[in-house]
Amino acid sequence: MIVLAIMGLVAAGVLMAMPDPRGRLSNEAERFAARTVAARDLAILEGRPVAVRVTAQGYAFDRRQGGTWTPIPEREFRSQPWSSGTAALVGQGGTIRTAFDATGQPSAPASITLTRNGEQVRVAIAADGGVRVGA
């Protein structure tokens, strides 16, 4: 009986120590922030607006081309879903969109909160174009 109790405790400890296969929420926020910074830099390099579009299900990047917004086809800027169980709190509109101009300034500051299993991490796009991750 004691051996079974000890084995149960050890098994519970192993399960608690196993990493989440989706990775940490902060890692997902860091990945999103890095791609957003790359989009800002692309706007500066190309000299035309680039936007980040965030929904509860994922995010994507668009560039202004011929007077319209078109998705960026390059692999690093393609539409990206959040990992399983992760959602972005985007409010009633269902979409947050911020465009970086040719100088890297956003059309408006934005705050995106990612949530998973009660944990939250915020990614802020500041008025100066800086992108920061915080709890």
DSSP state of 19: P
Cα torsion through 41, 47, 49, 50, rounded to 10: -30
pLDDT at 16: 47
pLDDT at 20: 44
Q: Is residue 11 part of a domain?
A: no
pLDDT at 124: 95
Domain count, the chain: 1
Domain span at residue 63 reads 21-133
What is the mean pLDDT of the segment spanning 94-116? Answer: 94
pLDDT at 7: 60
pLDDT at 134: 87
pLDDT at 18: 43
Distance between CA atoms of 61 and 42, rounded to whole angstroms? Answer: 11
Distance between CA atoms of 4 and 17, rounded to whole angstroms? Answer: 20
Report the sign of the C-alpha dihedral through residues 36, 42, 44, 46, in that order. Answer: negative
What is the mean pLDDT of the segment spanning 109-133? Answer: 94
CATH of the domain at 126: 3.55.40.10
Q: Is residue 72 part of a domain?
A: yes
